[in-house]
Amino acid sequence: MAGHSQFKNIMYRKGAQDKKRAKQFARLTREIMVAARSGLPEPDKNPRLRGAVQAARAANMPKDNIERAIKRAAGGEDDTNYEEVRYEGYGPGGVAVIVEALTDNRNRTASEVRTAFSKHGGSLGETNSVSFMFDRVGVVTYPAAIGSADDVFEAAVEAGASNVESGGEAHEVTCDPDDFSTVRDALTERFGDPSEAELTWRPQTTVAIDEDKAQTMLKMLDVLDESDDVQRVSANFEISDDVMARLTA
């Protein structure tokens, strides 16, 4: 029985990973299609599409999937009209949360997001109700092995970045949103595709939450992650290392 249980556990974990990967690919496909329709369906002539393709490659999305998504968007094979929508509100413990989505049905997405907030002690607010507590920034990340801190710093400064943080695992380059495409493309030419490159909301300050609130917050994020429409979530909470260790044990 022990062996059987272990096998089931392994299969469950693999199933969860496969499901997560499929969801990630679905989000990336949606972003590629929206990007392809926002300009020319050619990555070298469309900065947003170039970034979407880079993100897909970083996630090990098959080349055929990427090309198929571009062709579907460019050739009109899929006429689904996706809108970019942002939701803002407060999660458990007064945590400020920004949810970005691409949706073909605003009512469905709003209902899913509102339910996720309300079921976990949060509340959805109006647009701009919490975004003033965040800065909109471009972030380009490379693994530490790509080069020395000095090399990355020099390249980032030349590209027009505003800050570089290098650690044992990664180099994180930040820049103004208006400079994002320029910085990303310059670094790509120097170091190859980044592991991550995106425009995101970075909190100006963080809120420390206790174990109970942290557990609820993480559950809320899991629910939001289950939505096919939700692309990314930004929040200003901070969980201590010991609390996180207990919650993920």
Over residues 50-64, the pLDDT tens digits come to 999 999 998 899 999
The chain-wide mean pLDDT, for the chain, equals 89
Q: Does residue 199 have a pLDDT over 60?
A: yes
Distance of alpha carbon 165 from alpha carbon 168, whole angstroms:
10
Distance of alpha carbon 231 from alpha carbon 84, whole angstroms:
10
Average pLDDT over residues 141-147: 95
* Whole-number pLDDT of residue 244: 87
By three-state DSSP, how is residue 78 classified? coil
- Residue 86: which of 199, 189, 1 has the closest Cα? 199
Q: Does residue 247 have a pLDDT over 90?
A: no
- Residue 118: which of 188, 220, 10 has the closest Cα? 220
Give the pLDDT band (50/70/90) at residue 24: confident
Average pLDDT over residues 145-152: 95
Q: Does residue 16 have a pLDDT over 60?
A: no
213-223 pLDDT, tens per residue? 999 999 999 99
Average pLDDT over residues 152-170: 95
* Whole-number pLDDT of residue 80: 80
**Helices within the chain (DSSP H only):** 2-38, 47-58, 63-75, 106-118, 149-159, 180-191, 211-226, 241-247
CA 242-205-148 angle, 5° bins: 75
Q: Do 140 and 173 meet the contact criterion of CB atoms below 8 Å apart? A: yes
Residue type, 245: A
Work out the angle between the directed axes of helices 63-75 and 47-58 (0-180°, nearest 10): 150
* Whole-number pLDDT of residue 248: 79
In percent, the amount of the chain with pLDDT more than 90 equals 77
Phi, psi of 96, rounded to the nearest 5 degrees? -80, 135
Residue reference for tokens 């030349």: 158
Give the pLDDT band (50/70/90) at residue 18: low
State the Rg of the chain over Cα: 20
Distance of alpha carbon 165 from alpha carbon 32, whole angstroms:
29
| Cα Dmax for the chain | 61
* Whole-number pLDDT of residue 8: 46
69-115 pLDDT, tens per residue? 999 988 776 778 899 999 999 999 999 999 999 999 999 999 999 99
The residue that leads in pLDDT, 32 or 248, is: 32
Distance of alpha carbon 194 from alpha carbon 44, whole angstroms:
16
**How many CA within 13 A on the CB side of residue 33?**
24
Distance of alpha carbon 33 from alpha carbon 82, whole angstroms:
9
Q: Which residues pair with 139 in a beta bridge?
A: 174, 198
